[in-house]
Amino acid sequence: MRHPALDKRNPLGHDRSRPLMPEGSPMSRPDMPPYSAPTIEARWQAAWDEAGCFRAKADPEKPKYYVLEMFPYPSGRIHMGHVRNYTMGDVVARHRRATGHAVLHPMGWDAFGLPAENAAMASGGHPKDWTYANIADMRGQMKPLGFSIDWSREFATCDPEYYGQQQALFLDMLDADLVTRRAAVVNWDPVEMTVLANEQVVDGKGWRSGAEVERRELTQWFFKISDMAGDLLDALDGLDDWPAKVKLMQANWIGRSRGLELAFQMTEPAQGFDSIPVYTTRPDTLLGASFVAVSPDHPLAKALSAEDPSIAAYCEEARKGGTTEEAIETAEKTGIDTGLRVRHPLDDSWELPVWIANFILMDYGTGAIFGCPAHDGRDLDFARKYQLPVVSTFVPAQGEHVRPEEGADAFTPQKSEPVRYVKLFAGEEVQTSDQGVEAAVAQAEAEGWGKGVTRYRLRDWLLSRQRYWGCPIPVIHCADCGAVPVPRDQLPVELPEDVTFDRPGNPLDRHPTWGRAPCPQCGKEARRETDTMDTFVDSSWYYARFTAPQAVTPTEMDEAAYWMNVDQYIGGIEHAILHLLYSRFFARAMVKTGHLPASAREPFDALFTQGMVTHEIYQSRDENGRPVYHFPEEVEGGKLKDTGAPVEVISSAKMSKSKKNVVDPVGIVATYGADTARWFVLSDSPPERDVEWTASGAEAAYKHLSRVWRLAHEAASSQDKPNAVADTALERARHKIVHEVSQVIESFGFNAAIAKLYGFTNMLSKSDAGAGVKQKAARTLVQLMAPMTPHLSEELWTLLGGDGLCAQAPWPKADRAMLVEDSITLPIQVNGKRRGEIQVARDLAVAEIERLALEAVSRSLDGVAPKKVIVVPGRIVNVVA
RNA sequence: GCCGGUGUGGCGGAAUGGUAGACGCAGCGGAUUCAAAAUCCGCCGAGGCAACCCCUCGUGAAGGUUCGAGUCCUUUCACCGGCACCA
């Protein structure tokens, strides 16, 4: 039989002119067939299908377990990152099934989005055809990997059955006052005729068209997520099984701040304004105020612009500022004096100038600030540029201090640090700034000139997109009745299929008939909403839909109550903020609208963020010195295979097509089999860290599986007689490995599980135990490997006389008594340095251990009497000399 | 700038405050073979030593706590990630 590794197009870049395990080798006996992954993998996948092993069935007798990996975008090709993500979920799912849980492990497709429209524009097809074809391709690539997924629950978010329920959900959220519609400033690409997300604006230009992006005010739909900001922040505390890093990122994103809102009265009313409301987190520095500044988008600035061309010109210029990080960092702080003046709230005779400044944001706080240059770097830059006063309000509690008014940087210590107030109006002279702020707020409230407020950075979620390939917003706009919800019996509002992508803009907008609909309220001719929903909406509730994917309502309460919450969610750190925050919002919204039980308010009990799969990059230079990248299979021994030209090896990075450092899982599965791919992506690195794909590592994984294959066959055909010492040793090791692997799998230590299984394999191969004990050990080995290498394990399980399917066998249990060693090795230290060791009975008296220890290290002590002997039972002995 | 994380052999990485370097890769030596591959056995941080005994050094750097520190504390350097004119 021709081994698959004979295929010279294998993706590892090794010219494999020989099979890895040829027949006729000493190890290959007539009764031992070679390890042929393709044969056994196909066979057992069929067997699992037939037995329906992975169908999720609610069972009141069992604890339930819902494991979910972030579902993929159907690009058409799976990559190693998918393999790693889904393998981790599969290990958890298989392990939980074996430990007696009713497991839900579903899969679906995050199928709406721009790439489908781009493909339609590029090649003239239809986004729907492109998407469903990709789904079929990817499913075809995924199934050979043998994931224990309940495929009967599969859906795509572009199925009308799914997005129709999403529309129903939207209408319920509208009724529950979770949705609103208002004007918003957006990035508008005048060539593409659509709104762009911030990340699609590069250097102020549209990423595709290259056209200068305009800031336009459009009426848009929003989810009122900011109403829940406080709860979304506070509830992070309860998410004990989420990475601290993710919780911190979310907390920063939500961005709670405590401060004071106060109004500066104008000396003379202007443009209908008699005061300027200001928000500050530093009311304790109010006596250091030197100016008031408003945003160029502030109503006052707009009103002044109408009168004064120089102000209008300044505001126009200030708004242009680039959106890139670099532009923001290097942008100079600029402003223009309005000539208006305001009174200081604590001193009627104190007047401050009012400026318009480019660094004030309209959509945070009130769009206006008071500047305190002594204690804010930005304000100090601004004050120095325009010769405004600098006045310190506090100095360090102790020590020397050069004040900002003497040329030093702005003094901005941590708010928890005590400082000495030199201009004080509330609280103690020496207090922390936190205390100073609270005292100032209390005083302002008592005296009635200000109000303490808690603010959030988190904005409402803009969900309107001027795109075709998304979920239509189920609303009809009537000239008389306004925005009217589509009646529920008319859902889903389906996307029309006869659309064209030959012109920019939204095809829904220019469709001849689709947009026309009678007003559901008055019956008059009206227009459909042609915006579709942000695709983040689709992925914000799919986890709930998996509990009843065919339901004619968004969810079914009893199914949702049984399966929710997701016990273990697994995905990339890149979704730490938006996707997870939106999902948390949606779960709350679904509780409020009666689609989820109250207990599912936080949908993901535990979250795991896995690292990427990386690979070295191979680079050479063309005649102009520009870098040229090469696929791994084009390189051998540091040289290009066809020309022999040397390549530069650049250190590992995330696999990407542009750098050509990609390894295709399909090729790996064809060459080595799914089990090898699964085993490799879990070995070597902790799951939360990146793992580097190497050809030698993949080959090593394959060799190991082949070795287990041989050992299992040897054990199965062994005629060796029992051997008391070896039998006991192996049996003890067997219980120990069961204990260890169970423990590390539960704590996501997949790489550690693999390392321990390597160790046990080494032990088994060297053991002189009798046939029966060896077979038992081998059977345990393959069972413990089964979550990682299910096909190989299934085949060997059967060979070794396992009962039924390994996939359905109960997880082995370790006998505690077998884990305890009778005799232990104690290292002996002298002054913390290891100088010897002793073998003692586990329960030997401390005094006796001390005696033996001193004896063992007498040479190192060199006659010196020990001052002290520290015995850590079962661990170590340290002699202090 | 602010917040967070990580620094351990040639490489990926192990080590509840208790024998630093598990396990794997690469490398070296041996067995097997006509020869090779595959497989099996062994070695594999640096330095010293006749020596697989043993000694010294060693977890980015410098201090500290402790009988004992990769692990805890302080300072510092480097790299990675997130946020970023948020008042």
Q: What is the pTM of this model?
A: 0.90
Report the distance from CA of residue A609 to the C1' of nucleotide B43 in Å, as an integer.
39
Cis peptide before A358 (omega within 30 of 0): no
Give mean pLDDT, residues A581-585: 94
A807: pLDDT strictly greater than 90 = yes
Residue A69 scores a pLDDT above 70: yes
State how far the Cα of A329 lies from the Cα of A437, in Å rounded to an integer.
Answer: 29
Q: Which residues are A218's β-sheet partners?
A: A184
Checking each nucleotide's C1' against the CA of A877, the nearest proves to be: B18
Contacts of A428 (CB under 8 A, 6+ apart): A421, A435, A439
Collapse the DSSP code of A349 into the 3-class scheme (helix H, G, I; strand E, B; otherwise coil) and give the result: strand
Q: Is A294 helix (H, G, I), strand (E, B) or coil?
A: strand
Please give the Cα distance from A167 to A835 (Å, whole number).
73
Q: How far apart, in whole angstroms, are the C-alpha atoms of residue A426 and residue A438?
A: 9
- Looking across all nucleic acid strands, the nucleotide with the smallest C1' to CA distance from residue A359 is B85
Q: Are A193 and A530 in contact (CB under 8 A)?
A: no
What was the pLDDT predicted at A13? 33
Report pLDDT for A363.
78
Task: For chain A, give the mean pLDDT.
Answer: 88
Find the Å distance, CA of residue A566 to C1' of nucleotide B18: 40
The helix (H) or strand (E) run that includes residue A276 is strand A273-280
- For A89, residues 6+ apart whose C-beta sits below 8 A from its C-beta are A67, A68, A69, A105, A147, A568, A570
Distance in angstroms: CA A467, C1' B14:
51
pLDDT value, residue A350: 93
User: What average pLDDT score do residues A141-164 get?
Assistant: 97
User: How far is CA A118 from each of CA A47, A198, A489, A504, A535, rounded to the nearest angstrom?
Assistant: 41, 19, 33, 11, 15
Residue (of A594, A546, A535) closest to A569 by Cα position: A546
**Of A408, A378, A381, A410, whose CA–CA distance to A393 is shortest?**
A410
Q: How confident is the model at residue A585 (pLDDT cuts 50, 70, 90)?
A: very high
Q: Please give the average per-residue pLDDT across A640-662, as a whole number.
A: 81
How confident is residue A23, by pLDDT bands cut at 50, 70 and 90? very low
Protein residue with the closest CA to the C1' atom of nucleotide B12: A684
Calculate the angstrom distance between C1' of B26 and CA of A836.
Answer: 33
How many angstroms from the chain centroid is the CA of residue A6? 39
Burial of A505 (0-12, 13-18, 19+ CB in 10 A): middle
Q: Give the model's confidence band at A331: pLDDT under 50 very low, under 70 low, under 90 confident, else very high.
A: low
CA of A876 to C1' of B59 (A): 21
DSSP 8-state secondary structure symbol assigned to residue A494: P
The Cα A465–Cα A477 span in angstroms is 17
Q: How many CA atoms lie within 13 A of A84 on its CB side?
A: 32
> Which nucleotide is closest to the Cα of A328 by its C1'?
B85
CA of A729 to C1' of B75 (A): 51
Look at residue A320 and give its three-state secondary structure: helix
Neighbours of A865 (CB within 10 A): 7
Instruction: Identify nearest nucleotide to residue A872 by CA to C1′ distance.
Output: B18
Short-list A575, A565, A505, CA closest to A536: A575
What Å value separates CA A832 and C1' B62?
22
Match 């704590």 to its residue by tokens: A747
- A864 CA – B68 C1', rounded, Å: 19
* CB burial of residue A636 (10 Å; 0-12, 13-18, 19+): middle
State the pLDDT confidence band at A217, using cuts at 50, 70 and 90. Answer: confident
Q: How far apart are CA A824 and CA A131, in angstroms?
A: 62
- Taking alpha carbons only, the member of A819, A818, A744, A728 closest to residue A784 is A744
* Per-residue model confidence (pLDDT) at position A675: 97
Q: What is the mean pLDDT of residues A832-853?
A: 85
pLDDT band at A354 (very low <50, low <70, confident <90, very high): very high
Residues A740, A745, A750, A751: what is their CA dihedral angle, to the nearest 10 degrees? Answer: -20
* Alpha carbon distances (Å) from A738 to A446, A753, A768, A811: 67, 10, 20, 9
Q: Which nucleotide is nearest to A875 (CA to C1')?
A: B18
Give the CA-trace dihedral at A57, A61, A62, A66, to 10 degrees.
40
Q: A186-190, A305-309, A577-581, A871-875 — which is least confidently predicted?
A: A186-190
**What average pLDDT does this structure show over A301-309?**
91
Calculate the angstrom distance between C1' of B74 and CA of A399.
20
As separate numbers, helices (DSSP H) first and strands (DSSP E) second, chain A gives 27, 36
Planar angle of CA A61, A65, A67, nearest 5 degrees: 160
- Asked if A213 and A196 count as a contact pair (C-beta separation under 8 A), the reply is yes
DSSP lists the bridge partners of residue A395 as A420
Rounded Cα–Cα distance for residues A489 and A168 (Å) = 10
Question: Nearest nucleotide, C1' to the C-alpha of A364?
Answer: B86
From residue A574, give the alpha-carbon distance in Å to each of A566, A749, A804.
19, 22, 41
| Distance from CA(A429) to C1'(B83), angstroms, rounded | 34
**Cβ neighbours of A635 (radius 10 Å):** 20
Contact call for residues A333 and A381 (beta carbons, < 8 A): yes
Q: Nearest residue (Cα to C1') for B16?
A: A875
**Distance, CA of A854 to C1' of B54, in Å:** 18
Residue with CA nearest C1' of nucleotide B85 = A359
Protein residue nearest nucleotide B66, by CA to C1': A832
**Spatial contact of A294 and A301, defined as CB atoms under 8 Å apart:** yes
Q: How far is CA A670 from the centre of its chain?
A: 30
Nucleotide B22 C1' to residue A755 CA (A) = 8
CA of A767 to C1' of B28 (A): 27
> Per-residue confidence at A1, pLDDT binned at 50, 70, 90?
very low
Nucleotide nearest to A371 (CA to C1'): B87
Which nucleotide has the least CA–C1' distance to A253?
B83
Nucleotide closest in space to A456 (CA vs C1'): B86
Question: What pLDDT digit, counting tens, does each position of A85-143 carry?
Answer: 999 999 999 999 999 999 999 999 999 998 899 898 888 889 999 999 999 999 999 99
Alpha helix positions (H), A786-863: 790-799, 816-819, 846-856, 858-861
Chain B bases having any atom below 7 Å from a protein CB: 3-5, 12-16, 18-20, 22-26, 32, 37-42, 54-56, 67-69, 81-87
More confident residue, A434 or A775: A775
**Using the CA of A878, which nucleotide's C1' is the nearest one?**
B67
Please give the nucleotide, over all strands, whose C1' is closest to the CA of residue A278. Answer: B87
Is pLDDT above 90 for A83? yes
Q: Which of A183, A180, A462, A185 is nearest to A297 (CA)?
A: A185
State which amino acid sits at residue A180: T
Torsion of CA A438, A444, A448, A450, to 10 degrees: -90
Give the tens place of pLDDT for each residue, A766-777: 999 999 999 999
Q: How far is the CA of A156 from the C1' of B24 (A)?
A: 40
User: For residue A729, what are its two tokens?
Assistant: 């040793």
CA dist A780 and A798 (Å) reads: 12
Is the confidence at residue A3, as pLDDT, over 60?
A: no
The better pLDDT of the pair A195, A145 is held by A145
Nearest Cα residue to A632 out of A11, A7, A5? A11
Amino acid, res. A781: L
Which of A866 and A563 is assigned the larger pLDDT? A563
